[in-house]
Structure 1
């Protein structure tokens, strides 16, 4: 038994094979490090740099950037114009319930997205924008009556925009534009407005009718004055010569109409012609 040789059944690894495997592992690590060393910030975005979870005071612009692998992380934040639409219910100055639908266009301040992320995060619409819209609308709506909200809509929009812009600026956002698309009121108020419009139309019609009657009356008075003045002038122009002329004209007209025969009826009138008057 002492002369028997113990045969090692474990396969011996070739030294060359081991080196090859090590090279592949190292190469894989290098590739992995290379892939994690660069980041691309897409168009319309900015990059927020986190280093071991802490927000760095730098903002990456669009394009390719280097970052420390496994140490730094880049969070993209969109800086294009975004839209938020909200429906808010508030009370007017005359205590009417008003439901307002408003559309808001805004964008993140590109240079301050890191601060926004640090203070608010990326859920800024739900946390900041929507509540700010409601607060601004309620504050402005309370300054106007329900009818003024309709008749002074441009003025209301300007005031809402001013207040909302200030609130968003506190969180590094920029307000671009607002559009109040609709004011909704209660059915009772809508009926009251409709009745008021009908009454105003009737009053306007009555006023126009009165003006028409007054104008017609004035026209008749002026016409009567003109006729009276015409008669007065005609009387002033009547002279003895004009009277004689009218007589002659009447006699000439009678001659034209007479057929030269005397009437057969007794007692009938015979046209009398003053021959001496005709010269």
Structure 2
């Protein structure tokens, strides 16, 4: 086996060193991510320059890049809070957030990669306890869910306002009450619903009765007006008209034997 030339060994070593340097210098930032540059000999975390965007970057081999997810993210948190009357409430909330891209360097320098655990989760829990403590279990279970959700968002927003975190939404997914309280609330709601239905039936029945009375009154008034207008002359004329029509019928046989007290013919039969 032939010996390598003396110049070949340093060349191989130089190539290996170059490969290592290039490997340390090349940084690829994936889609939806950004990089924070740390200069080992240049003042640490770079906060006065934009974060490294998506794509391929070359940096000094002695520097480092910390990769952050900058797309919207979600944290699902379950917590125990107290209502206004001291009852233990289980709350499940979903937090939509993302780091503030333009302040990513400051976020890394001041809060670090654990910023969700250090800042965001304590903020949402503190806000939830503060807001839920203003409401009764009945309000939490029924009508105030949307209002509570909005208030928790606003309270959390105050905590993270200057923490380089962009809070997009807080969603209250579930509110779990103690079983005894939940059953009592459901019974109360059923009773209220039954009471409303009963009141509706009473109102409907009252309107129906009023309608019948109005119709009867109208008929009575009509009959009274009609009776007042029927004079003896009108009745006699009507009787004559009826007698003439009956006599003209091909199927009737009329026998006239005289006149009654009203002066009209007396009809004994029409067959």
Q: Above 0.5 in TM-score? A: yes
User: What is the alpha-carbon distance in structure 1 between the residues aligned to residue 66 and residue 16 of structure 2?
Assistant: 26
The within-5 A match list for 1:56-95 is 56-57=46-47, 58=49, 59-69=51-61, 71-95=62-86
* Pairs aligned (count): 254
**Distance across 1 between alignment mates of 2:184 and 2:213:** 43
Q: How does 1:59-208 map to 2 (within 5 A)?
A: 59-69=51-61, 71-149=62-140, 150-208=142-200
Name the residue aligned to 1:28: 16
| Inter-CA distance 62–237: structure 2 relative to 1 (3 Å threshold) | same
What is the alpha-carbon distance in structure 2 between the residues aligned to residue 94 and residue 126 of structure 1?
30
- Could you tell me which residue of structure 2 aligns to residue 243 of structure 1? 235
1:46 touches 1:78 (CA, 8 Å); kept in 2?
yes
Query: Whose radius of gyration is greater, 1 or 2?
Result: 1
Mapped partners of 1:148, 1:82: distance in 2: 30
**In the alignment, is the contact (CA less than 8 A) between 1:91 and 1:142 conserved in 2?**
yes
Runs of 4+ in 1 over 6 A off after TM superposition: 249-260
Question: Structure 1 unaligned runs (5+)?
Answer: 1-13, 261-270
TM-score when normalising by structure 2: 0.80
Give the corresponding residue for 1:5.
none
RMSD of aligned residue pairs (Cα, Å): 3.1
Deviations 1:42-92 (A, max 9, x none): 2222222223393233432223333222x2111211111111001122122
Matched, 1:227 2:215: no
